[in-house]
């Protein structure tokens, strides 16, 4: 009887492409412009990307579209979010009724702090990522869009959604 050993590296195949997007646009406006340029229809997804951080947990907005014809899942995900932690003070003074909050920036992929959004394209088929990148760079309010090498991503677990 032959025994086949499974190697965990066999399951670590990456079947998605990731494009980092730098823009000052709000998420819904960016999704609108992407929908105009690409043959997709990104829509706000109720299931936001949720990750645990030392301050608690935070959620990142997500727009989703599934292309059944080509079996491609498109996810536009926010990379930067702001977490406000309440500061409790037991001091009685003139401003004792005010709540102070400490604002902290949190990143979906901390190793790419300059990127505002990521376009994650899940596909088993070959997709022309360079063409998508060129189209994204033609959108006026996008400063730049570039592919991210998946080997550079240290926090890959944050991209499981």
Do 83 and 53 meet the contact criterion of CB atoms below 8 Å apart?
yes
Q: Which token pair is 37?
A: 């340029």
User: What is the rounded distance in angstroms from the CA atom of residue 44 to the CA atom of residue 63?
Assistant: 4
Which pLDDT tens digit goes with each residue over 96-121? 666 667 778 889 999 999 999 999 99
Q: How many residues does the chain have?
A: 161
Residue appearing with tokens 């579209």 = 65
Residue in 85, 119, 77 with CA at minimum distance from that of residue 102: 85
DSSP state of 139: S
Is pLDDT at 151 greater than 70 in this prediction? yes
Which of 33-37, 57-61, 84-88, 123-127 bottoms out in mean pLDDT, i.e. has the lowest?
84-88
- Kindly state the percentage of the chain with pLDDT values over 70: 79
**What DSSP string runs through 32-92?**
HHHHHHSS---EE-SS-EEEEETTEEEEE-EEEEEETTTTEEEEEEE-EEEEEEEE-----
């Amino acid at each position: 009887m032959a025994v086949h050993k499974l190697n965990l590296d066999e399951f670590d195949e990456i079947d998605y492409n990731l494009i980092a997007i730098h823009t000052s646009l709000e998420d819904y406006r960016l999704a609108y412009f992407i929908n105009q340029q690409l043959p997709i229809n990104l829509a706000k997804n109720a299931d936001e990307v949720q990750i645990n951080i030392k301050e608690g947990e935070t959620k990142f907005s997500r727009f989703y579209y599934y292309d059944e014809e080509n079996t491609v899942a498109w996810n536009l995900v926010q990379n930067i979010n702001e977490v406000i932690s309440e500061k409790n003070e037991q001091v009685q003074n003139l401003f004792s009724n005010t709540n102070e909050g400490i604002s902290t920036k949190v990143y979906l992929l901390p190793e790419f702090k300059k990127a505002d959004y990521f376009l994650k394209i899940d596909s088993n088929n070959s997709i022309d990522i360079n063409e998508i990148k060129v189209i994204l760079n033609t959108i006026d309010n996008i400063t730049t869009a570039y592919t991210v090498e998946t080997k550079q991503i240290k926090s890959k677990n944050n991209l499981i959604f």
